[in-house]
Amino acid sequence: MVYLDYAATASLLPGVRKAMHDAEEKLFANASALHTPGHLAKYEIEKTRELLASYINAEPSEIIFTSGASESNNTVIRTFEGCQIETSPLEHHSIIETAQKYMGKKLPKLYSYMLVNNETGDILDLEKNVKEAREIEAPEKSELFEAKNDWGKPLVTDKKGGYVHSDLTQALGKVPIDVKKLGLDYATFSAHKIGGPIGIGALYVRKGVPFKPLIVGGNQEDKRRGGTYNTVGIVGFGEALKEIVKENSIEMYDKKIRKLRDTLANRILKEIKGSSLNTDLRRNKSAPNILNASFQAAEGESIQLYLDAEGIVVSTGSACAAGDTKPSHVLMAKTGDAEVAHSSIRFSFGLDNSMEDVDRVMEVLPGIIDRLQKISTIKMES
């Protein structure tokens, strides 16, 4: 099998699998308990918290463990319920749909912009959004500012009008992340994009910014997220973080994976009639591991199924929207062309991929596209 759907989920790393197996046997106790087994479990949780904080240049106390990126995104957006929320049409559904439901007209204002797009790999201009947020005048007194959080402190402790959140799910381990240098107030992470387990993620919350727990009813995470700790999942997340540090994954992606991605892109353009790219290949414009391409007069889901029959795994867009027959909202926002969106395929690489995988794709992809174009009712452009 040639697996090129790492942007949807990465395979569980062997070291992660072992660490989780050991945790299941030795760290089964409730990490909130006062007895020794509970303390041992809590100790391993805090080690992962410190690892992630160090990796993104944050304080351990600014890290909250969640069930994944969607929960983290929902937590931030719903903190600003009734307030002004600005985001882009390129965001993940867990941002767009939640913002549409909970946005209002009050200040303060939240800007939510991802760093790396999950469908095209494009790197967005966070610096511009942060600058705009910081230039907003401090808001007048509002209900949000009068509220108290579960710690009994004011919901807002610094005076500025705009706050910035970034979904860094696709950026972790692929491009450098420094939440302080980026100027972020909130940031979202997910373990299964870096070879960790599904069902565990994290949220960075800068000290002193607004915060309302999404899940209440427990003292976990300093009362910021109720529920028994997912110790095994958090240990797996920590092991995955160790692996990306050990393997110097950012450098590996920039050198090895970018070469694979760009080779595939250039061969597609050269060898397949009617092909085009939806990913900007320039180094500062896209992450190194994602390639989105469209094939005129060939339907994306058909391409995916034909490739799957050949043992090549790709996707037609965000896996979270699987089963939705509508064209990709990201590609519609970027190109405005439904045919381009419907004919798109996302190839996303991981560190296990090789040039042999690229060769295998190009052995079968041109024939698949040619076959689909010949039976298509869409007229090919000359």
The 10s digit of each residue's pLDDT in 173-190 is 999 999 999 999 999 999
Annotation marks residue 83 as catalytic: no
User: With pLDDT > 90 as the criterion, what percentage of the chain qualifies?
Assistant: 77
Considering the domain boundaries, does residue 194 fall inside one? yes
Residues of the chain with pLDDT under 70: 137-161, 317-325, 382
Give me the CATH number covering residue 318: 3.90.1150.10
Considering the domain boundaries, does residue 141 fall inside one? yes
What's the confidence (pLDDT) of residue 140?
Answer: 57
Q: Is the dihedral of CA 356, 359, 360, 361 positive or negative?
A: positive
Considering the domain boundaries, does residue 132 fall inside one? yes
In a shared domain, residues 181 and 308: no
In a shared domain, residues 212 and 352: no
In a shared domain, residues 297 and 241: no
CA 260 to chain centre: 21
In a shared domain, residues 338 and 322: yes
In a shared domain, residues 164 and 232: yes
In a shared domain, residues 228 and 282: no
What's the confidence (pLDDT) of residue 150?
Answer: 47
Considering the domain boundaries, does residue 305 fall inside one? yes
- Domain endpoint, select from 228, 246, 264: 246
Please answer whether residues 63 and 224 qualify as being in contact, where contact means their C-beta atoms are separated by less than 8 angstroms: no
What's the confidence (pLDDT) of residue 161?
Answer: 65
Considering the domain boundaries, does residue 4 fall inside one? no
In a shared domain, residues 129 and 170: yes
> How far apart are the C-alpha atoms of 363 and 360, rounded to whole Å?
5
In a shared domain, residues 50 and 172: yes
> What single-letter amino acid sits at 223?
K
**Could you write out the three-class secondary structure of 4-59?**
CECCCCCCCCHHHHHHHHHHHHHCCCCCCCCCHHHHHHHHHHHHHHHHHHHHHCCC
What's the confidence (pLDDT) of residue 356?
Answer: 98
Helix (H, G, I), strand (E, B), or coil: what is residue 348?
Answer: strand
What's the confidence (pLDDT) of residue 25?
Answer: 96
In a shared domain, residues 56 and 139: yes
* Residue range 31-76, pLDDT digits in tens: 999 999 999 999 999 999 999 999 999 999 999 999 999 999 999 9
Count structural domains, the chain. Answer: 2
Considering the domain boundaries, does residue 96 fall inside one? yes
Both tokens assigned to 226: 């109720």
Per annotation, catalytic residue among 147, 320, 355, 380? 320
Residue 367: other Cβ atoms inside 10 A: 12
- The torsion angle over the Cα atoms of residues 377, 378, 379 and 380, rounded to 10 degrees, is -120
In a shared domain, residues 199 and 266: no
Considering the domain boundaries, does residue 9 fall inside one? no
What's the confidence (pLDDT) of residue 239?
Answer: 98
Helix (H, G, I), strand (E, B), or coil: what is residue 204?
Answer: strand
In a shared domain, residues 287 and 351: yes
Task: Tell me which residue has tokens 């107030």.
Answer: 185
The DSSP string of 206-269 is -TTS----SS-SS-HHHHTS-S---HHHHHHHHHHHHHHHHTTHHHHIIIIIHHHHHHHHHHHH
In a shared domain, residues 356 and 221: no
What's the confidence (pLDDT) of residue 157?
Answer: 42
Range of the domain at 260: 248-375
- Domain endpoint, select from 246, 277, 295: 246
